[in-house]
């Protein structure tokens, strides 16, 4: 999996990644938030809604992040958007690592 671009907006906003996984390219928004569909709508840039489907998932420390991401990635199509609402910074960092991105190395 390659990630050619990773940006970290200021404040409580997500880290935004352009991800290549197998034959698909997609945009991922990974941030710390309670499970709230409105938060996902605030984070995702308007043009992303026109490119493909927007998949929103909540991740928490009580379930394996790797398994949840594997299931989500299986259902993604090229140009889709994935929004991950993580319950903590630790869960966010784990999701980022699973996507091949290390925040400390950015």
Is the Cβ–Cβ distance between 87 and 58 less than 8 Å? yes
| Structural domain includes residue 1 | no
DSSP-derived 3-state class of residue 9: coil
**What does the pLDDT read at residue 11?**
53
| Structural domain includes residue 72 | yes
| Structural domain includes residue 67 | yes
- pLDDT tens-digit series, residues 6-39: 444 445 789 999 988 777 789 999 999 999 999 9
Q: Count structural domains, the chain.
A: 1
- pLDDT tens-digit series, residues 67-103: 999 999 988 888 899 999 999 999 999 999 999 887 6
| Structural domain includes residue 11 | no
The proportion of the chain whose per-residue pLDDT surpasses 70, expressed as a percent, equals 86
DSSP β-bridge partners for residue 63: none
- Structural domain including 77 reads 16-105
| Structural domain includes residue 84 | yes
| Structural domain includes residue 10 | no
């Amino acid at each position: 999996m390659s990630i050619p671009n990773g940006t970290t907006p200021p404040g409580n906003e997500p880290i935004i990644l352009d991800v290549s996984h197998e034959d698909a390219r997609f945009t991922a928004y990974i941030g710390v938030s309670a499970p709230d569909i409105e938060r996902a709508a605030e984070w995702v840039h308007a043009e992303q809604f026109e490119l493909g489907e927007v998949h929103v998932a909540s991740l928490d420390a009580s379930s394996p992040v790797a398994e949840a991401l594997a299931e989500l990635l299986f259902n993604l199509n090229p140009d889709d958007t994935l929004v991950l609402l993580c319950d903590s910074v630790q869960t966010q960092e784990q999701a980022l690592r699973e996507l091949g991105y290390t925040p400390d190395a950015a």
